[in-house]
Amino acid sequence: MTRLVTLGHTGCGEKISMKDLNSLGLRYSGGLLQVLDQQKLPNQEEWITCRHPGDMIECIRHLKVRGAPLIGVAAALSLAQLAESGASEAQFLRAAAELRDSRPTAVNLMAAIDRMTELGLRGYHQEVIVQMAELIFDEDVELCSQMAKNGMAVISDGDSVLTHCNTGGLATVGVGTALGVIRAAFESGKRIHVYVDETRPLLQGGRLTTWELDQLGIPYTLICDNMAASLMAAGKIQKAIVGSDRIAANGDFANKVGTYGVAVLCHHHQIPFYVAAPYTTVDAHCPTGREIPIEERSAAEVRGVMGSFGAVQWAPGECEVFNPSFDVTPAQLVTGWILDCGLYGQREIKSGILRRLGK
C-alpha cells in the first residue's frame, strides 16, 4: 500500500527544483518537461517539449498524452513546472482549473489537480507543490506494481488474454494497469498470449499496445474489435483484462468505448472478465456508472482514420456520427476488480472501495 509522506516547506524562500523523473512517455529534467507524442506512435518516436500548462492542455486534448493515470501525473508535473518558473498563486490556480477541464471522463486528472491545488489554497509554496508532484509520480509507479502483484495470479499458464485500448507504461508512469498485470504474469514465467483489440476509433490497441508488447517480447495477435466474439466462441480466449478511466462507488466503471461489449461477450461465453485500476481511478462521488460523464469526440475520428500514417476519410462528407470515447460496464459483468490494495470480487467490491478511500 502506498505511504503518504508529509509535505512541508522550509520557509526560507529557497528555490527547490523538481527531481528528474522518467517514464516510457513522460520525462522531466532541469525544468524541461517532455511527453512522447502518442499520436505519432508507433511510426515515429517524437518527444514534445511542454513549456507551459497551455502546451500540456493541448497534448491532453489531442491524446498526445493519454491514459487515465498518465494524464493526472502529466498535469501535476505541468503545474509544478509552472510554480517553479515563479508563477503567482492566481496564475497557478487558473492553469489548474484549465487543466482540470481538459478531458472529462478520467477522474485521475481531477484527483491529481485537486491534490495540487488543495496545497496551493493552504498556502502557495513552490517547494510543497514540487514535492506533491514528485509524490504523485512516484505513487503511480508504486500503484502499478501493486496492481501487477495483486492481479498476476488470475492469469494461468497457457492462457490467452484479451485486452482493449492501451493500459501499459504509456498510459501510466509505471508498468501499467491491465497490461502491467499481463506483463507480471509473463515475467513470472507463465506462457501466455495476448489478443489485442485494435480499439476503434483512435486505435490505441493497434498502435500503442502492440508497440509496448513488441518491446516487452510478449507474444500477441492484433484483432479488429469485432473479431473477439468468434475467437471466444472458438475457445481461444480464457481471460479478458481491461483498465478503467473511472470506477463508481458501486463498482460500475467507464473505460474506452468497446469495453462494455467485451464484458457482455465474456459473460455470454463464461470467460472471466477483470478490470485493473489504482485508487486514483475510483470516484466515491459517483454512486453508479450512470453519473460518470462520458466524453464525446469529433466526428472526423469516426468518418475516417488518422495518425502518423496520414488521414483518410471514407464516410460521405458530413455524415451524422456518434462518437462517445468511453462506455460504462455494469458491476454485475465484472469477475474481479484488481486494485492496488487487493483483488475484489462481486461481494467485496463496494466495501473494498470505501475502505481504500478511508470512508
The contact set with ligand MRU (CB under 6 A) reads 63, 66-69, 106, 165, 167, 171-172, 177, 204, 243-245, 255-256, 325
Q: CA–CA separation, 224 vs 203, rounded Å?
A: 10
Query: Please, which residue, 102 or 172, has the CB nearer to ligand MRU?
Result: 172
Cα distances (Å, whole numbers) of residue 264 to 145, 323, 340: 29, 20, 25
Q: How far apart are CB 9 and ligand MRU at their closest, in Å?
A: 33
What are the grid coordinates assigned to 25, written together?
Answer: 512517455
Note whether 213 and 220 are within 8 A (CB). yes
Q: How far apart are CB 187 and ligand MRU at their closest, in Å?
A: 19
In the chain, % helix, strand, coil (3-state, to 5) comes to 40, 20, 40
Q: How far apart are CB 38 and ligand MRU at their closest, in Å?
A: 8
Q: How far apart are CB 329 and ligand MRU at their closest, in Å?
A: 11
Instruction: With CA atoms as reference, report the closest residue to 98 among 126, 122, 78.
Output: 78
Q: Is 4 exposed, middle or buried (0-12, 13-18, 19+ CB in 10 A)?
A: exposed
Write down the catalytic residue from 37, 140, 197, 245.
245
Stretch (H or E) spanning 75: helix 68-84
Query: Please, which residue, 125 or 256, has the CB nearer to ligand MRU?
Result: 256
**Helix axes 126-151 and 107-122, enclosed angle (nearest 10):** 150
- Answer yes or no: 245 catalytic: yes
* DSSP state, residue 305: E
Note whether 305 and 312 are within 8 A (CB). yes
Q: How far apart are CB 172 and ligand MRU at their closest, in Å?
A: 6
Give the chain's end-to-end CA distance (angstroms, integer): 17
Active-site residues: which are they?
A: 245
